[in-house]
Structure 1
């Protein structure tokens, strides 16, 4: 079994594979847009549909460049994709800041609305940082499948698959070295979920300074949401 898997890798090297599916990234982005639109108006820094409209305008050409599979990498594609993630993350962190300000200085009494808003901000935080990790690590989703490993930028994250090639056979066969495995959006969303719940890395370790900085910002934002916002909302309910 191990030989046949290895042979399959040799016949179909990673840089000749079909790229990662476009649909999961589109769905994640649309969910983040919807969560932002559904926030209370007092948490928004602009009219409700201004930033979501901008995000959708950035998403359209990204889908046009790679409608089904992420196989084409251009400078425009890279700039647009990073700009989209930046806007989603920045607008959500701003909403979190406004939410905390409302709690501390405005005497918000609607505990139910506050709990819902806190959950929306927390979920958007997971999506935004998951997309950021996905876009940055090893040159982005296109480079990870379309470029030979020796041409990839240095990794921002070390996944368990990157180091388990010496484990038992059924585990080692899926390792990066043996199967030419690369992470997809689901893997980065998982990293984002665990970082937002454990407030620290779990089985995936940040390697670069920017990865550590992003994970630190996400952990602090998640911690503030969990401890300050939800605790305040619960106290209002009681």
Structure 2
């Protein structure tokens, strides 16, 4: 499946119902690994509960510590609670102003949305201090992890983009062995797909969500995926606008490298 709003009825996990304490609960997002995000309550006490099943491989602790660090520098969700039981793990965060860049309103206004995503990503990269960041998302670390998972038979090339599938796992790893020189090190979002930018009523970016992979890396690790996601979410032809909004010229070699590396991710 592709991440997005749930396509069918969702059973609310017991822990989420307990956290809601009688307040309204609405499922708003489902990811490829079975994780769910719920909107709970209404303003001014509205919050979001992210839940992951125990066998999903999702580690919400990683996102908790990253959010707790990043919130001092840029608009990201404030952590309210985090925990786990035998049925899964959860992360509760305060609501932020704005809607996802792939909400119906913004999908109908792709020029506004893509501009906001590009400007928001640049602002995130400018705001988060590399020297103070304790987390890494470096290509070398990600490649080492991909090699470990490949050796365990845990890399599935059938899930890759069609352009990458003919390479196969061994050839893809060989291509990735030559890491491009850094253009500029920044604290990357780690999942810079369009849905993770929030847009305010004024059409400008307002915050970022889903920072479970945040860490220091070349900025093209984020830019390659942000531009790629414009095609997934708005159709072809929007990559240039995002790069213009960010303020950088295209770099096809780095984009190809980081997109292939993304496909080999967990």
If the length of structure 2 is used for normalisation, what is the TM-score? 0.25
- Higher strand share goes to which structure? 2
Higher relative contact order (CA 8 A, sep 6+): 1
The structure number with the bigger radius of gyration is 1
If the length of structure 1 is used for normalisation, what is the TM-score? 0.27
- Higher helix share goes to which structure? 1
